[in-house]
Amino acid sequence: MISAEPSLEAIFFDFDGVLVDSVDIKKQAFKEVIAPHANGQLDACMEYFMTQGGISRVVKFEHVWTKVLQNPRCHQSVDRLAREFAHRVIDRTCHASFIPGSREFLTRYARRLPLYVISGTPEEELRSIVERREMTDCFQGVFGSPRSKVQIGESILAGQHYLPSKVCFIGDATTDRDAARTLGIRFVGFHGPHLSPYLDGSEQMIADLRFLEQALWPSLSVE
């Protein structure tokens, strides 16, 4: 039996790239959707996408549409791009592989520790994906945009009276790291394209969830 130190009150997880191997799915879908409109600026569009992991797709498309491609602001165009993106990613994400170690970690700790999903994916869509993947029972709550990760985290911390020092955010993007810093909670990062190039040396990093137990509880004992 594994005995864990009682040092955490809750864990927040990002979804894509942390629990499910869907980062490349979303990267490819974004490229497919924006390419017909890129007018020679596809590399710039993709560079922005890669530096903004974990934020709302509407925010991404609006920035690319108006700032990168220099189009007039148009909510209808942005909404159309976001809907097309969703159409391409939902089924693919539902069938994507689990990140190594994620299913095992969730199975082991879902009944021992409050676990939450905090994602930039639209909340209704995210909950549908989690349900279709039969993961709903693993979490105390599944939350997404339009609220930011900081807003969601603040709501959970206040509502459940968790001590920030006893909560950890597991993420693979600078937005996850920055949200954790704003919330005053611990951060454990995944090496990947949305975070690794932007490390400042203060992050605790792991390759995937097979290494999370040891990162969270270095003195785990096996009885």
Segment 51-73, tens digit of pLDDT = 777 778 899 999 999 999 999 99
Q: What is the pLDDT of residues 32-42, one digit of tens each?
A: 999 999 999 99
- Global pTM? 0.87
Q: Are 168 and 186 in contact (CB under 8 A)?
A: yes
CATH of range 2-21+98-222; options 3.40.50.300, 3.40.50.1000, 3.50.50.60, 3.30.300.30: 3.40.50.1000
pLDDT of residue 78: 94
Whether 89 shows a pLDDT value over 50: the answer reads: yes
Nearest to 132 by CA among 6, 2, 20, 31: 20
More confidently predicted of 54 and 142: 142
pLDDT at 90 over 50: yes
Can you tell me the mean pLDDT for 178-182? 97
| Whole-number pLDDT of residue 4 | 47
Per-residue pLDDT, 220? 63
The sign of the dihedral angle between the CA atoms of 14, 19, 23, 25 is negative
First-to-last CA distance in the chain? 5
Count CA atoms closer than 13 A to 58's CA, side-chain side: 13
Alpha carbon distances (Å) from 162 to 40, 154, 218: 48, 10, 22
pLDDT in tens, 93-139: 999 999 999 999 999 999 999 999 999 999 999 999 999 999 999 99
pLDDT 10s digits, 6-29 = 589 999 999 999 999 998 999 999
For residue 6, the model assigns a pLDDT of 53
pLDDT (tens digit, 9 = 90+) per residue, 190-211? 988 878 888 899 999 999 999 9
Among 79-88, 112-121, 184-193, 214-223, the least confident range: 214-223
Q: 3-state secondary structure string, 87-124?
A: HHHHHHHHCCCECCCHHHHHHHHCCCCCEEEEEEEEHH
Cα–Cα distance for residue pair 109/103, rounded to 1 Å: 10
Q: List the one residue out of 159, 186, 158, 188 whose CA is nearest residue 173.
A: 188
**pLDDT for the residue 148:** 94
Contact 172, 190 (CB under 8 A): yes
Each domain of the chain, given as residue ranges in start order, spans: 2-21+98-222, 24-94
pLDDT of residue 56: 82
